Structure 1
């Protein structure tokens, strides 16, 4: 009889932990169903990347990590209550706290999963750092959701409300039916450690030296499919966790010392014979201008939002940019120019600062780069230039205003400075308004003071809003990316028609370049063709030229200063492509999530080297015409990997040491 009573008491003790079992079972089922639904939307990519059984099993393992985290917290926090849980009132409060906690956790899991399809369609990955970064800009984000993802938005809101209502009903019912049971303290003391150890094992998910992390589940060459294996709550939490490692973001690619990295980068031919006079700023060197001018030229950078090569016919894209095609015959046209990243701030970072990409946020947003960080504006302001940023939206977006003002820009013009704009959309005034403002500012500028201006367009940004009756639409409905690109090109053509007739044309150097392509996605570790962008330098006395070699956005800043006749110190390791004595480096680097791509030309074609986190490097042959990557089985030379790894790690070294800056010269 005593044994039976003892067994009953044990089962009664275990029954107290039913909320744990309910939560684990229900959430694992929920996350698996959501994963399969998402996989169904991208079935072709999943099917070509991984066996479906492996996909499901790995997904459950990833979910156990997240469920484990949510379970471990109350186990640790509420365990001290075990000494009094034999009392009925303590059992009731224990039950309430567990149930409330698990319902909140389940709601978070549901909300993140229902938010995923729209995010996945936009960024080709589960929610990451961008998910919470853009919460700071509700106007722009909500407008984009309303116009581009209204169905998912309202489905998410409605289903979340239903989830909350059903959860509340279930909670009230469980409270009504709950009855305290006779339990023994020694059983509690025995059960809770077992639950904690089991939960910790589920979180670790492996007996290997290191616990599982997102890299553990990166088992395919398709980054999007790898993200599907995880769940969205986990990917978001991991992004938050990684914020504390941003300064060291790209150190994960190798074990080289700072000195080895710096020495390796300095070996490149166009840097090899230069002096680096500042020990604390190891990449700072003097760059003499290739163009000898009595008075340096004005420099104007027109940064085009999301204008990838796929929209430019002569670059293998659609015939949507006739004005750009016409203008390319009047200046330096880059046929093989590549963006360093997939976001606007990454394009700003590369074009305006010449800074290499990392896994971390762009330098535009990082706290350590808000002052004393190299930009074209800082360098040119020291040479007597007036420096200005012109934008059609709110300049605080993506922290642009703070970064610019802190690093050499003397004037910022944004949406509030347009008195009678022709058109205002979700992202600000139209490209025509922006470029009219640019023309006005250049026309009114003091001719005795050289000007540096960055103008950043926004019409070609989802939800693709622009004025009516300005163009013949490429397709229906109006608000599509193809129509927005055609409008952006139309506004650009209008501007240059006026600029070429103006007084400032003969002493102004223009760069027209994209910040990145639109919606960068693909099955490859690094979808190279989605990084391909147009670039054009024209104006003043620039003679037509086609640059066919592979080039990067980081090469534009040193080239612009050199052509404008500005000799100065600079920390950028981009190549001045105007120097005839140096063979073009014929390489580009690009960051795609956690993967670092290095594209290099050769007599056999273009070779892509991909560095991954906690994975060996991989080599691919890139076919530009077919826009495909073919895996190469050849072994990668240690010297080559050392070079690529050094370039990948260098920005983290410079950022950590606050060394990407030219010290004030006496």
Structure 2
């Protein structure tokens, strides 16, 4: 048998992977989420360089398949080696099953997985050892099963990439890494959001058909297993291919440098993007981002905060009017894009309650979320800190005892709680909020009879509203003021909620339904709250955690970060529109200003209503850090890259000027050095303070 024939099984799988990726690119290009056209050069880059990336990535991943093929041998079953190996496998199985091993220290399902794997391996080795007459047939079954697994994973990856793109408009990124950690919620979300049975039935049929074809074409490998010296040659060829792949994969990634972000994403290989995201979940600002002299950075920051000294943001907020210790309820609404509200041009009447409440409230009309994940929004509201590169502070190990909003209230005798309809261990919220002085009210606090409807993310927002009222009544009974931060869950895929509440069915799995039901639940909460004696002594803040989608032609599309924020307090806060450009981190410092709090602060957020406030905003992914000021967007990216865009408004017909949110981002060839320095100073100082424990309580 020639050496070429030994490579046939691998080449068929390689070809399948490249073909699936080619077809996937065609589907993604025509996805409605992709905006703008592509030049001929872009198309060639997407498909030619993309195919090369796919091939080299599979060469690396295919090492697992080669290990299986190269371990196929008849020699290891000969006496006495076969019995020695079988005996060792049995001893290993007994050891991991009945003794305290390192796997037991990991806990969870790890010991079970290890025992199952070794058990199956021992059983199959025994079959091949003691049934030599049926060895070829058994090996063919195992070979077919192995091919089936690889084929299924290739097809499943293509399907997963399609749905991930449909949701986020990018290849696998940091969110996909997160999803591997919280498999229960994510798998539940998938099960409830998509037609899993027909989807996996079709996938299984396709995998089986392709497997039969590949096995038929390559089963001769099993009849003529390579000799020891042939295997050495195969290993050498594989080693050369692996080395080339490891060198060329990053080189091809560097060629993903088009101005259109969709071109780069389409050209990329999803598995490689996932690997990059896994490695880069913690980014050292000073290693990957542009910097200036540290003293100069804080001096630049001092223009925003004149009272700070040295390498610190510590300063005093003073008010001549006595403090007003009203109750405060901060409601963070899942995925509430500004586009859902009538004020911003929506014609579907999705938020009738919020639209009516906005007219009676202080409403921020030009406000931007700092990020595109819930944890980023919670971080911004709690710590009033610009987003820093990598994972949210909430999910970092060093996430406790930070200078935070809850502590400011606690120092004044407030009861401080975080409320969440799901299990707050998700996204590390429980660890973060408890570590910063909050008490937790989540799904684990519900009695079975208190839950009328729940999905994988938690109890419906109505049930959480009932629990919130119960909790606040108990707090009010103590005579102490309370600060409660409630994170909603219903406006999240699969968008399921109780039927019969709104004019959209709860099992229709409609985003519009999720938005409208959340608005309904908030209306119900306010209706109940109005009947409580503490209502007139309470400030309510309603703000989105992030937008419903963050995908666009550029890395940081402005309209995908614009969110509504409403501050309501009957007979205390007059209705008004705050049109100044501002950030999520400014909301609570503004509320503290309305309450005339005098306090020492390290917050980067500011009271927007203060005459000294300088309008600016922060928007970011886990990697790209954006700073908006005076119609200029400055974006800091790895490695040490800076780009600036002129923001040119694209008016939406029928929308008032203060609610316009569409902008064309025009790349500037000549950067504004002042804005560049400002952007660096904010992100550099925030990163430095976190790194050097300068943002602790």
Indicate if the aligned counterparts of 1:297 and 1:509 stay in contact, CA closer than 8 A. yes
Alignment of 1:418-437 (within 5 A): 418=447, 420-421=449-450, 423-426=452-455, 427-437=457-467
* Corresponding residue for residue 661 of structure 1: 696
Q: Does residue 203 of structure 1 match 2:269?
A: no
Q: 1:591 aligns with which of 590, 610, 620?
A: 620
| Among 674, 679, 682, the residue aligned to 1:644 | 679
- 1:54-97: per-residue Cα shift (whole Å, max 9, x none)? 2101211321331232256788999999xx99xxx9xx99x999
Hey, what's the Cα distance between the residues in 2 that align with 1:299 and 1:562? 13
The whole-number CA distance in structure 2 between the counterparts of 1:640 and 1:375 is 28
Alignment correspondent of 2:489: 458
Give 1:339 shift.
0.6
Q: 2:649 aligns with which of 598, 623, 642?
A: 623
Q: Deviations over 1:162-220 (max 9, x none)?
A: 526754784587455545589895x98788556534442333228xxxx4374542424
Q: 1:272-421 residue pairs with structure 2 within 5 A?
A: 272-275=306-309, 282-290=311-319, 292-293=321-322, 296-318=325-347, 319-369=349-399, 371-414=400-443, 416-418=445-447, 420-421=449-450
- 2:331 touches 2:541 (CA, 8 Å); kept in 1? yes
**Higher mean displacement: 330-339 or 109-118:** 109-118
Secondary structure, counterpart of 1:510 in structure 2? strand
Q: Deviation per CA, 1:626-664: give whole Å up to 9, x if none.
A: 4241414451122321221333344433333333222xx
Q: 1:219 to 1:420 in 2, by over 3 A?
A: same
Query: Counterparts of 2:49 and 2:621 in 1: how far apart (Å)?
Result: 23
Q: Any conservation in 2 of the 1:12–1:181 contact (CA below 8 Å)?
A: no
Offset of 1:553 from its aligned partner? 0.4
Counterparts in 2 of 1:247 and 1:408: CA distance versus 1, 3 Å = farther
Superposition pairs for residues 194-273 of structure 1, below 5 Å? 196-205=239-248, 211-212=250-251, 214=253, 216-223=255-262, 225-243=263-281, 246-248=282-284, 251-256=287-292, 258-264=294-300, 266-269=301-304, 271-273=305-307
1:512 aligns with 2:542: yes
Secondary structure of the corresponding residue to residue 359 of structure 2: helix
Task: List per-residue Cα deviations over 1:416-442 (Å, max 9, x = no partner).
Answer: 425643631313333233223323322
The alpha-carbon distance between structure 1 residues 73 and 625, as it changes in their structure 2 partners (threshold 3 A), is same
Distance (whole Å) between structure 1 residues aligned to residue 335 and residue 225 of structure 2: 63
Counterpart of 2:158 (choices 113, 131, 151) is 113
Aligned residues of 1:253 and 1:648 also touching (Cα < 8 A)? no
Superposed displacement of residue 550, structure 1: 0.8
SS in 1 for 2:363: strand
| Residue range with higher mean Cα deviation, 539-548 or 172-181 | 172-181
Mark the CA change 1:636 to 1:428 in structure 2 (over 3 Å): closer, same or farther. same
Report if aligned partners of 2:148, 2:207 keep a CA contact under 8 Å in 1: no
- Distance in 2 (alpha carbons) for counterparts of 1:476 and 1:499: 25
Change (3 A) 1:135 1:27: closer
Distance 1:17 1:137, change over 3 A: closer
User: Which residue is 1:4 aligned to?
Assistant: none
Seen in structure 2, the aligned counterparts of structure 1 residues 34 and 373 have a Cα distance that, compared at 3 Å, is: same
Per-residue deviation, residues 18-55 of structure 1 (Å, max 9, x unmatched): 44544444432332233233334459647437632221
- Cα distance in 1 for partners of 2:647, 2:385 equals 26
After alignment, is 15-24 or 441-450 more displaced? 15-24
Counterpart-to-counterpart distance in 1, 2:327 and 2:453: 29
2:565 paired residue number: 535
- Using the TM superposition, give the Cα deviation of residue 359 of structure 1 relative to its aligned residue in structure 2, in angstroms: 4.2
Give the aligned partner of residue 6 of structure 1. none
State the match for 1:29 in structure 2.
Answer: 19
CA drift of 1:349 comes to: 0.8
1:218-262 deviations in Å (ceiling 9; x for gaps): 424234x4222223222222222223xx05168523143555544
RMSD of Structure 2 on Structure 1 (CA): 3.9
Q: Which of 28, 52, 56 pairs up with 1:38?
A: 28
Give TM-score scaled by structure 2 length: 0.79
Distance 1:56 1:393, change over 3 A: same
TM-aligned CA deviation for residue 573 of structure 1: 0.8
**Worse overlay, 624-633 or 484-493:** 624-633
Alignment partner, residue 5 of structure 1 = none
Q: Normalising by the residue count of structure 1, what TM-score does the alignment of the two structures yield?
A: 0.82
CA 649–395 in structure 1, closer or farther in 2 if over 3 Å, else same: same
2: CA distance between counterparts of 1:358 and 1:239? 16
Distance in 2, matches of 1:181 and 1:482, equals 59
C-alpha separation in 2, matches of 1:578 and 1:364: 28
- Residue 120 of structure 2: aligned partner: none
Q: Tell me the alpha carbon deviations over residues 295-324 of structure 1, each in whole angstroms, 9 at most, x when there is no partner.
A: 522221011111111011112334422322
| Residue of structure 2 in register with 1:130 after alignment | 175
Asked whether the equivalents of residues 391 and 413 of structure 1 are also in contact (C-alpha less than 8 Å), the reply is: yes
Paired with 1:410 and 1:181, the residues of 2 have a C-alpha distance of 64
C-alpha change, 1:484 and 1:67, in structure 2 (3 Å) is closer
Q: 1:442 aligns with which of 472, 479, 485?
A: 472
- Does residue 1:607 correspond to 2:638, yes or no? no
- Deviation, structure 1 residue 346: 1.2
Mark the runs of 5 or more structure 2 residues left unpaired by the alignment: 82-134, 653-661
Question: 2:465 touches 2:521 (CA, 8 Å); kept in 1?
Answer: yes
Q: How many residues align?
A: 623
- Distance in 1 (CA, whole Å) between partners of 2:294 and 2:207 is 52
Once residues 167 and 462 of structure 1 are traced to their aligned partners in structure 2, the CA distance between those partners, rounded to angstroms, is: 34
Q: Secondary structure at the match of 1:360?
A: coil
Which runs of no fewer than 5 residues in structure 1 stay unpaired?
Answer: 1-10, 277-281
